Amino acid sequence: MNEKLLLQKKINFPMQYINFLKFIHPYFSIINSFEEYDYGSSNGIIYIGKLTSTTVDELNSITNKWIIVNEKEFDYDLTTNDGLIKNLLPIYYSKLKQSKESFSTIYSISYEALIEKIKICLINNTELTFDDVLDQSVFNLFVAILGTRDVLNFEFFNLVNDKNILLITSSVLTFLNKVQTQNIKGASIHYSRLIIQSYKRYGKRIKQAVYKFVKSKANRQIALYHLLIDLNRA
């Protein structure tokens, strides 16, 4: 992960996805005012408060590790698929622009789905891929949690491997967060229905199951499998 990504920049970024910035800089604090900053537990600032002529100076007086989120005054616009790739994966963006056919694919997926793909690129330092087959397979895995153990085993062991475990884990945790909060904003009819059904089945079990997953000392594939089995038992 590039620890200098977006540092000392003003960015236009959707507030509903603000936790993506915490994914990039997990030890940063998101603050509305400087009074909220905790010197003991924070390693940087994601500032989402009012921007004034003295804001940058005030940030620099606290730390040189900061990002300002502001929709009116910004250096980078990350509100579009194009903007995300251009500013977070600049080397790949240059390669992508050379192929008009490939470049058009960045508009074929949702903003949220692109964020999930970019997470994996940043973690693994790999190029962006647009694998619709994998996306559908992950959706089938979510559906399988509601099915029998045999169905879940079939989907899991035919999908998960060493190369895609990080991507699938990220997708699963994002999905579980949506289920737990019953967040269906912007989701398709089928996806919305699955979120609602999943909440009714195992919504109250998610917090405990994810806690066990995070604390697990098993390898990534086994830990993820145990998480899904735990939810499947509900």
User: Residue 142: pLDDT above 90?
Assistant: yes
| 203 shares its domain with 143 | yes
- Mean pLDDT throughout 94-103? 70
Do the domain assignments include residue 137? yes
DSSP sequence for 101-153? HHHGGGGSS-HHHHHHHHHHHHHHT------HHHHHHHHHHHHHTTS-HHHHH
Which of 197, 85, 101 lies closest to 145, judged by CA? 197
What H or E segment, with its residue span, contains residue 212?
Answer: helix 206-215
- The least confident of 9-13, 67-71, 164-168 is 164-168
The whole-angstrom separation of Cα 226 and Cα 228 is 5
Residue 135: pLDDT band by 50, 70, 90 thresholds?
A: low
Which of 150, 116, 152, 119 lies closest to 227, judged by CA? 152
User: Residue 103: pLDDT above 80?
Assistant: no
| 103 shares its domain with 65 | no
Query: For residue range 193-230, what is the model confidence (pLDDT) as tens digits?
Result: 899 999 999 999 999 999 999 999 999 999 999 999 99
Question: Which domain range does residue 196 map to?
Answer: 132-232
- Boundary of a domain, candidates 90, 124, 158: 124
| 141 shares its domain with 208 | yes
Place of tokens 């408060």: 49
Averaged pLDDT of the chain: 88
Looking at residue 38, what is its pLDDT? 82
Residue 133: pLDDT band by 50, 70, 90 thresholds?
A: low
- The least confident of 59-68, 85-94, 110-119 is 110-119
